[in-house]
Amino acid sequence: MGKVIRVTIWNEFRHEKSQDRTGEIVRSIYPEGMHKTIGAELAAPDLEIRYATLDEPEHGLPDEVLNSTDVLIWWGHMAHGEVRDELVDKIQRRILSGMGLIVLHSGHFSKIFRRMMGTSCSLLWREVGEKERIWTVEPAHPIARGVPATFTLPNVEMYGERFDIPQDGRIIFLSWYEGGNVFRSGVAFERGHGRIFYFSPGHETYPIFKDENVIRIIGNAVRWAAPEDWYEISCPNSPAPEEIRTPDPNRK
């Protein structure tokens, strides 16, 4: 066996604590939070799993945690805006140096995913509990190892095209929904020295993170995204627009 992969599962962990009907439903499925279920389902000898949540100091990702994380899993939804930009800068730098990032479901609108993509990451959505059929379009890819050619999830939130992501993503899974929409539901990217995988299933009011195929895909993605080596990145951030704006010499 190779070296152990240090995985940190980050969950916004707000739906689970909310005192409304949705909170009750989410707690009934994920009593300790989605992150704990994902971690328990992923548990394996080659993974060392830690957890981090939004309301912890430094959002659960102080330097000593982030700098000892090989692969970061990210689930967020209602509080993307509360994630501090300095942390997003640090995560970006860590990814460019080699860290893997697995972005789940509504994490498509997280600051870190939008930062790494450079696009809006907008999509269509509809929540009526419809069926999703997922198709494996790259069965030879490591993320598809052991995943059937197609499988279904009985109740999901629909995420549909157009999904505003860059065109260099490798599409590993495609989804069809009962309502007729289609979606690039599993897409793999490389940014700097880091690998990024976006996977759309994972709406909080359905037990999607207990589905064996979903967990197999996330586990495969973790192992695919784990870095072999690290590379120092000196200056990952683009200058702010005002810093690169120069006077137009032809302007009167």
**Residues in the site for Zn ion, rule: CB under 5 A?**
106, 157, 203
Between 12 and 157, CB nearer to Zn ion:
157
Three-state SS for 217?
helix
What is the Cα Rg of the chain in Å?
A: 18
Beta strand 194-199 with 182-191 is: antiparallel
Sign of the C-alpha dihedral, residues 205, 209, 211, 214? positive
Q: In what order do the strands lie in the sheet with 5-11?
A: 47-53, 5-11, 71-75, 100-104, 194-199, 182-191, 170-177, 124-136, 150-160
Between 47 and 54, CB nearer to Zn ion:
54
CA angle at 40 for the pair 14 and 114, rounded to the nearest 5°: 50
CA angle at 174 for the pair 102 and 180, rounded to the nearest 5°: 125
Between 132 and 157, CB nearer to Zn ion:
157
**Nearest residue (beta carbon) to Zn ion:** 203
Between 200 and 213, CB nearer to Zn ion:
200
Between 106 and 220, CB nearer to Zn ion:
106
DSSP letter, residue 238: P
Min separation Cβ 106 and Zn ion, Å: 5
